[in-house]
Amino acid sequence: MPIRWALGAIVGGAVFLLIVLTLTHMGTTDRTGDTAVVPSTVAPVQSTASPQQYFPFQC
């Protein structure tokens, strides 16, 4: 019987967590107009030459 109590607590806790998260996040919208756009500081990748093919066992 204690195993059923433990499994019930785990499953019940997960369901409770999902319900709470659903209720707390209801009505929130993505407000992209309120956020500032920050330019990227990462430099673009330079194209490199493709490596030469190497076949070690070809005579």
Q: What sign does the CA torsion over 2, 5, 7, 9 have?
A: negative
Specify the pTM: 0.44
The answer on pLDDT for 57 being more than 70 is yes
Q: What is the mean pLDDT of the segment spanning 3-10?
A: 95
Spell out where 1-59 has E strands: none
Residue listed under structure tokens 């499994």: 7
Instruction: Dump pLDDT digits (tens) for 14-52.
Output: 999 999 999 888 875 666 566 677 777 777 777 777 767
Angle at CA of residue 58, ends 53 and 59, nearest 5°: 130
CA of residue 24 relative to chain centroid, distance: 20
